[in-house]
Every structure is written in structure tokens, then in C-alpha cells.
Amino acid sequence: MEIVSRWTAFGGEQLVCRHTSSATGTPMTLGVFVPPQALETPCPVLTYLSGLTCTHANVMEKGEYRQAAAELGIVVVCPDTSPRGEDVADDEAYDLGQGAGFYVDATEAPWAPHFRMRTYVEEELPALIRANFNVAADRQSIFGHSMGGHGALTVALRNPDRYRSVSAFAPIVAPSQVPWGVKAFSEYLGEDPAAWRRHDAVALIEDGARVPEILVDQGESDSFVITELRPELLVKACEDAGIALTLRMQQGYDHSYYFISTFMAEHIAWHAERLA
């Protein structure tokens, strides 16, 4: 793994790293914040999955997570949202192709050769972090925003023994039922909705997947909340399944990083309690 750049921050280091991915068959770039505690002891890992159009850099530059992560001794990993490159399939629309991987393993042409973000996030990335950083392999959690909130919820629900906790900012909770998800899943996974269910948090819960608890922050002024995010569907699924969901509707906040950065430290502290 190549370290592209590094900066000292809050006594730790913010790195940008690059490696060749066996999952996607492309170079992949990620941000990794290493807290000062990692010089002396293995630290827990918190992975952040970003939303549509984002790279690793959006949360790294706007998310304001480093001070809390340094104080609490947590390694924060920020991968890209999709494979990229001249030979990687793409689309002119912002919600499909590069920057819009939806954290699935695509089965359909032209996406299948490279769009394997589920395998990348669930398997390759954790192994890469274990091999290159002083981390506690049995102490990891996951969170994300929008499309990345969808990714975090589905990854945690599919791997409840691996992740200590999961939270999200404005997640797409039921992509099978909203325009963003229907478009992406039809392209990546084919037209059969039955193939979509293991990539849909609400469907996973309906089909028996369980985590002990979920924390979600949602801006009340988010322009996507009614058509794309549908938090009420997650509320019902968790109520029916007995999952402790904390949904905080935040007055005046939208879908932006102004919203995310406001509540970022609270999410990191919440995960830190469960990673202790």
C-alpha cells in the first residue's frame, strides 16, 4: 500500500493511501486517520462510507471527525464510493457509475468486472487495514451518509458478529422502494427485485437480519427525505423486529456536510462506547 500524502492532526496522522484492489481490479484510494494512541496500543476501527458523487476526500475534508477520533483513540477509515479509471464503466448521470457504487457486487454488464464494492468493503478493506495499521481486529464499527448510510446498514446487518455498532446520517434505508435504488439495482443487479433484498436494510430486517441497535440522524429540511430516504420504513422494520432504533430528526438541517459535521463527534462517541 502506498502512502500518497500525510498530515499531522490532533497528535495523530491523516493519511491518503492508494493500493491495487483485487476486488475491483483497479487502484483504490482511501483516507485513514491514525490516532496518537496507535503508537502504543492496537486501536479500534470505524469505517465511514460516503454518499453519491463523493470520493474519500469529502468526509476527510469536511467531516470534522479527527479531534473526536484522536481523543477517543479510534482509527477512522474512509474508502472511495466506487472503482474509477478510464477502463471502468461509467454513466453521465450522477447516481450511476463512478461515484455511485451503492456498495453492491454488480452482476450485470458492463458493471460486473469492476463494481464489487460489497466485497471490497466487507472483505478486502478490513484485511488491508489489519495488515498495515496497529488495529484491534475484533473491534470494528461502521457508519455512513446517504448511499453510504445504506451501505453501512446493509454491511452491519449481513455481518452482525463482525461489527460492534452501526450508525448513519440520512441513509437510504430501503433502496428497493425509492428511485435512486431502483435505478442502481436494476443496472447493477438485474431486473429481479428478489436479487435486491440482501442489499436493502429494510428488506434484510424483514428477512431476519438483526443488530442490537442503530443510531440515525436525519435532517428535517433534507430535500431527499420524502422521496429517497424514507426513514419511516426503517422505523417500522425495527419496531417489528425488536431492534432498538434511535432516530433523531434534526430541525433545520439538510443533506449536506454542514449537517454531518454537526453530529459527527456524537456518532464517534456513540461508537466508542460500544468499541470499548
How much is the pLDDT for 79? 98
How much is the pLDDT for 146? 98
Residues 139-158, mean pLDDT to the nearest whole number: 98
Contact (CB, 8 A) for 77 and 48: yes
Binning pLDDT at 50, 70 and 90, where does residue 101 land? Answer: very high
Residue type at 223? S
Q: Is the peptide bond before 110 cis (omega within 30 degrees of 0)?
A: yes
Binning pLDDT at 50, 70 and 90, where does residue 184 land? Answer: very high
How much is the pLDDT for 28? 98
CA distances 110 to 87, 107, 119, 198, Å, are 11, 9, 18, 21
The mean predicted confidence, pLDDT, of the chain is 98
CATH code, 154: 3.40.50.1820
Q: Which one from 146, 150, 167, 199 is the annotated catalytic residue?
A: 146
Which positions ≥6 away from 178 have C-beta within 8 Å? 172, 227, 228, 229, 230
Give strand pairing partners of 216.
168, 247
The pTM (predicted TM-score) of the whole model is: 0.98
Query: Is residue 222 annotated as part of the catalytic site, yes or no?
Result: yes
Could you read off the pLDDT of 16-64 as tens digits, one per residue?
999 999 999 999 999 999 999 999 999 999 999 999 999 999 999 999 9
Contact (CB, 8 A) for 54 and 81: yes
How much is the pLDDT for 182? 98
Helix (H, G, I), strand (E, B) or coil at 42: coil
Count of beta carbons in the 10 Å neighbourhood of residue 98 = 19
Could you read off the pLDDT of 193-204 as tens digits, one per residue?
999 999 999 999
How much is the pLDDT for 251? 98
Residues 113-141, mean pLDDT to the nearest whole number: 97
How much is the pLDDT for 25? 98
How much is the pLDDT for 26? 98
Which positions ≥6 away from 69 have C-beta within 8 Å? 10, 12, 33, 35, 46, 75, 76, 268
Beta 27-34 vs 43-49: how paired, if at all?
unpaired
Q: How far apart are CA 90 and CA 83, in angstroms?
A: 10
Q: Which one from 56, 145, 199, 255 is the annotated catalytic residue?
A: 255
Beta 244-250 vs 75-79: how paired, if at all?
unpaired
Residues 98-106, mean pLDDT to the nearest whole number: 98
Residues 213-222, mean pLDDT to the nearest whole number: 98
Residues 265, 243, 170: CA angle, nearest 5 degrees: 45
Q: For the chain, what percent of residues have pLDDT higher than 90? A: 100
Q: For the chain, what percent of residues have pLDDT higher than 70? A: 100
Residues 268-275, mean pLDDT to the nearest whole number: 98
Count of beta carbons in the 10 Å neighbourhood of residue 19 = 15
Give the total number of structural domains in the chain.
1
Q: Which domain holds residue 14?
A: 2-275
Q: Which one from 82, 222, 267, 271 is the annotated catalytic residue?
A: 222
Residues 157, 72, 122: CA angle, nearest 5 degrees: 25
How much is the pLDDT for 214? 98
Residues 80-109, mean pLDDT to the nearest whole number: 98
